[in-house]
Structure 1
């Protein structure tokens, strides 16, 4: 494949916006697909806010900010991805949504050598590949939140992914985007979430059993294990819906009880208490809140 210059990002939530920024600052032509035309302003707003914050902190110049913004455009139609060389899907962690996206990308992306990547946290890459006529070009590219800060990308090849695809994706992620890669097999949770999610679920169960308060559990893990964040603060940052989705994926694959979502987590997701992105999760993040009070 020729040098990758034209990148597509499907989705402009927290992860999609971060991916768009990283790619734009790397000098790439970035096209971001949003769910509907009314979301274009919101998507661009996320990008502007993030870049302006870095400008204020002296992490980039005004010229660099303007150049990055000029490289990003938006669309509400995946049909506009025809000329893309590398597409990264960063939509909701929902099976039917992802399958539909990959089936559509397979039809519209003209270059048969274009790589189709997914930022999924846990969904099997082989299933995404099988809805396309190019399963050898489908790979997992799992970035971490915040994308603009965390250096890791889990690179996941399925049993159908060609080695040349994985190698090209690794070169792109490391040499162009400046990230670090770990390769992992196509197993639910990959490496990081296979280890992290059971820990987060265990913390919820410890709280549910009345051993300690959420604040004290977070404090214990930060001060006793030198973690930068406690499990409840981290769950809120990840998004409780994402934690639940990964938990369910792990449980489907391994059928081990410690992977199943605790009742409290399921109830909070049902109530729309998803963490920082919704303004309230285990803690309250609304502007009117004088302290991060527990939400449950």
Structure 2
């Protein structure tokens, strides 16, 4: 489903569910294909199975009688992190970076919920990493609620980013974690890299979704424009053609350096644009984790 169509729904819960169901159609029947460790998988109906276990919504799409196998609560914890700095308000063709990331995280939360994974939600704003939803009962619904009302503003620049007091991840015995960050990953210094380096380890994978605009990358503009820094509010008027090559070169250099800096164990970077189908982006992320 196109991102613009999901945005028009104006309902994060429905949008996230539609994306997750689209993903399920592609990965049902495969062991450990989901985001966590214990995936709630499907198999074909067999004589003796309780008909109530047939997924009739899936049948309507596939014309196959598929039974959802029961899953126990997994030993897997997904920590979602949403960037809420002002640059997340960037928009192209009716799709804002913030809304794109909200739907992306809501879709992943649905997958985690179906697998009975533990989940929590953090945000990055005003120089701090804040916890919005701790792990526990009803965390899935609370995550959707907090994502729905989240607003982006201000700057996020922190020389030594850390988890908030009381929110520092503590590993349980045999527990593994996935740290999922949705952001433009644009930094003034090395604040993003320091955060990633501080959390990545053998028991915690890091999955980074860097969401950029096509126009941000191409900078294919002509004429005079008033450019505004969405975090500081500073404005400047420039002739776009005069700075095009410099902007493109600096952008390419930054992204290349970022790619190199993130070639570290247990870290996966997925770079996408605002117009890439979200289900396709998540599918690529899941594939990458299995490589």
Q: TM-score range by the shorter chain?
A: 0.3 to 0.5
More helix by share: 1
Normalising by structure 1, what TM-score?
A: 0.33
Normalising by structure 2, what TM-score?
A: 0.33
Higher relative contact order (CA 8 A, sep 6+): 2
